[in-house]
Structure 1
Amino acid sequence: MSKKYTIQKAPFVVPTTDGKLIEEHFGNATDQNSKISIAHMVAPAGWSEPFQTPEFEEYTYIIRGKKQFNIDGEIVVLEAGQSIKIEKNIRVQYSNPFDEECEYIAVCLPAFSMDLVHREDS
């Protein structure tokens, strides 16, 4: 009989140097699933990362705080309770230029991978 479900009690904590918490619950790093990744994240106040042009769709749901998206030159700010889908192969920069941390869930289809994200040199 095949397994009916999987409960994730020990997500993979991605090592970072920018103060951002990344807990991958399902995906390449956790269960070698390359189809989808689901991560819980907390971005500190003042955080930003380089532009990227990923080969995956990314869905973001904001739990608390605010997060800024620079989507091919257009600035979009989401607040708690809002969500966004960014199509693959779109140049985007994620940041939290605000004075409070931002907690959110990110879902990538296919799964997040350093080989697919195409981050620019900062």
Structure 2
Amino acid sequence: MRTHKVQRSPFIVPTTDGKVIKEHFGIATDGNSEISIAHMVAPPGWSEPFQTPEFDEYTFIIKGKKQFIIGEETVILNEGESIKIEKNTRVQYSNPFNDVCEYIAICRPAFSMELVNREN
């Protein structure tokens, strides 16, 4: 029985907003619905609509800055900082800054379009 899995070919999620998403573990990559781990690169000016996900999301900033609007509060994370946003929290993610933001996102349970609940 194998006790480990090395991921050398993450699933590249198709996007239309310039963001690069490489899922290393999760539903699209290995069918795991309990957790997803993705490497993200958000270009300057990138943003997503508000959402109220049905999963906890942890974000660790590798490079650059990322903005989070959580309820009435705006939080800006810098390189080396991290945040946990609990499920069922309304949030908007963006990179309104001039530099690329590179980060790791971990979701429990795993990210899925059915659980993200994005607003239009």
Secondary structure of the residue aligned to 1:77 is: strand
Secondary structure of the residue aligned to 2:16 is: coil
- The residue correspondences of 1:30-45 to structure 2 (distance < 5 A) are 30-45=29-44
1:66 aligns with 2:65: yes
Cα-to-partner distance string for 1:80-110 (whole Å, 9 max, x where unaligned) = 0000000000000000000000000000000
What residue number does 2:54 align with? 55
Letter in 2 for 1:94: Y
Alpha-carbon separation, structure 2, partners of 1:73 and 1:51: 12
Greater than 4 Å deviation, 4+ residue runs: none
Letter in 1 for 2:104: I
Cα-to-partner distance string for 1:22-67 (whole Å, 9 max, x where unaligned) = 0000000000000000000000000000000000000000000000
What residue number does 1:5 align with? 4
Please provide the CA RMSD for this pair.
0.4
Q: How many residues align?
A: 120
What residue number does 1:79 align with? 78
Gaps of 5+ in 2: none
1:97 aligns with 2:96: yes
Alpha-carbon separation, structure 1, partners of 2:24 and 2:113: 17
| Percent identity over paired residues | 71
What residue number does 2:107 align with? 108
Shift of 1:73: 2.0
Gaps of 5+ in 1: none
What residue number does 2:87 align with? 88
Shift of 1:19: 0.1
